[in-house]
Amino acid sequence: MNLPLSPDRLWDRLMEMARIGPIPGGGNNRPALSKLDGEARALLQRWGEEIGLSVTVDRLGNMALRREGRDPARKPVLVGSHLDTQPSGGKFDGPYGVLAGLEILHALHESGTVTEAPIVLVNWTSEEGCRFSPSMIGAAGAMGILSEETVLNAPAIDDGERYGDALQATGWAGAADPAALQNAAAYFEAHIEQGPVLEAEGHDLGIVTGGFATERALVTVTGETSHAGTTPMEMRRDGVLAACEMIAAGEAILYRLAPEGRMTVCRFMADPGADGVVPGGARFAFEYRHPSNETLRRLLDEADAAMAAIAARRKVSVVREPYWSFPRVAFDETLAARLREAAERHGARHRDILSGAGHDAYHAAARMPAVMLFIPCHGGVSHHPSESISREWAEKGLRVLADAVIATANSKDQ
Binding site for Zn ion (CB under 5 A): 93-94
- C-alpha 414/C-alpha 405 separation (Å) is 10
- C-alpha 104/C-alpha 77 separation (Å) is 12
| Residue 279: CB minimum distance to Zn ion, A | 34
Under 8 Å between Cβ of 196 and 380: yes
DSSP-derived letter for residue 273 is -
Instruction: Name the residue nearer to Zn ion (CB basis): 28 or 410.
Output: 28
| Cis peptide, bond prior to residue 134, ω within 30 of zero | yes
Q: Which of 147, 167, 129, 184 is nearest to 408 (CA)?
A: 184
Name beta bridge partners: 207: 352, 373
- C-alpha 208/C-alpha 97 separation (Å) is 14
Name beta bridge partners: 313: none
Residue type, 46: R
Residue type, 36: L
Instruction: Name the residue nearer to Zn ion (CB basis): 189 or 204.
Output: 189
Instruction: Name the residue nearer to Zn ion (CB basis): 69 or 358.
Output: 358
Instruction: Name the residue nearer to Zn ion (CB basis): 93 or 193.
Output: 93
| Residue 212: CB minimum distance to Zn ion, A | 15
Under 8 Å between Cβ of 167 and 83: no
Instruction: Name the residue nearer to Zn ion (CB basis): 142 or 407.
Output: 142
Under 8 Å between Cβ of 186 and 332: yes
| Residue 98: CB minimum distance to Zn ion, A | 10
| Residue 50: CB minimum distance to Zn ion, A | 25
Instruction: Name the residue nearer to Zn ion (CB basis): 10 or 247.
Output: 10
| Residue 193: CB minimum distance to Zn ion, A | 11
| Residue 95: CB minimum distance to Zn ion, A | 9
